[in-house]
Amino acid sequence: MADLKQAQILVTRPAHQAENLCALIRKNNGIPIRFPTLEIVPTSLNIDEIESPLTHTDLFIFTSTNAVHCYCSQLDDAKMRRLKTKSCLAIGKTTAQALTTVGLNVDLMPEHGYNSEALLELVALQNVLHKNIVIIRGENGRETLAETLKQRGAKVSYQNVYRREIPEIDGSEILQQRLDFITITSGEAIQNLVKMLPEMQHDLLKKIPLIVVSERIQTIAKNLGFEHIALAQMPSDDAIFNTITTIINGEESG
């Protein structure tokens, strides 16, 4: 069993997604500290917004586990059966697992990578002329995927099924305890963390080692002034945990 040596680790995942990482930390002699910096708020679709894609869409692309749950929770059994007849693509393994959990087949998923760029490298997305594609996502997501698919001749629309908000949590006392690491799983999470703490604490905050899950988040953190940033190999709890144990056992973050 890996030994985290009582390291105190700030877990910033949304409240409903934090338990698995917290349990992994506790199991291995670490101390998880929950401090969600994102709140996922589902948004409702009207009947037409649900019916039309189920009739006319060739391919559904799910961009996150939240997209899967917030969309499928709005479908009754009959609509879920119709969705099962459509091709579904997942942005990565955790999203694919979420689709499988709700009973859907995953027709496509990147073998390497877990972002829009990885999706766009799939052979099946190279020739999409006149294909009707719906991207299931949160509000104000990245535009790269849709823009590129449109350039390739696809007809692309969005189903925005949740929005991200800053939790109403007082962060003024979070740095009064020793923090050995901060885990970050999205660009908005790191930006919100800075907003949620008093400005007078920002210098101290930015000296705490960060564990991030993509090069894009790494760049955001560097631009915000964070000094010690380690990049996990995947956006999974296991990968985050493995990165922390590697650092504790002697390898320095970049």
The percentage of residues in the chain with a pLDDT greater than 70, rounded to a whole number, is: 98
- Check residue 223 and give its pLDDT: 98
pLDDT tens digits, 48-74: 999 999 998 999 999 999 999 999 999
- Please state, in angstroms and rounded to a whole number, the distance separating the CA atoms of residues 61 and 53: 12
pTM: 0.86
Q: Is the pLDDT of residue 235 over 90?
A: no
pLDDT at residue 254 greater than cutoff 70: no
Question: Mean pLDDT, to the nearest integer, of 229-242?
Answer: 93
Question: Which amino acid, 3?
Answer: D
Taking only the tens place, the pLDDT of each residue in 95-120 is 999 999 999 988 878 877 778 888 89
Distance CA 25, CA 244 (A): 10
Tokens standing for residue 159 = 């189903």
* Common-topology check for domains 8-38+169-248 and 41-164: yes
Name residue, tokens 């087949």. Answer: 105
For residue 75, pLDDT beyond 70: yes
What topology does CATH give the domain 8-38+169-248?
A: Rossmann fold (3.40.50)
Q: Are 145 and 113 in contact (CB under 8 A)?
A: no
CA distance readout (Å), 194 to 93, 169, 180, 189, 197: 29, 13, 17, 9, 6
CATH number attached to the domain at 41-164: 3.40.50.10090
- All structural domains of the chain with their residue ranges: 8-38+169-248, 41-164
Which amino acid is residue 82, in one-letter code? R
Q: How far apart are CA 128 and CA 116, in angstroms?
A: 16
Label residue 167 by pLDDT band (50, 70, 90). Answer: very high
Instruction: Express each pLDDT in 129-156 by its tens digit.
Output: 999 999 999 998 889 999 999 999 999 9
106 or 180, greater pLDDT: 180
Three-class SS string for 120-138?
HCCHHHCCCCCCEEEEEEE
**C-alpha torsion angle, residues 110, 114, 116, 117 (rounded to 10):** -70
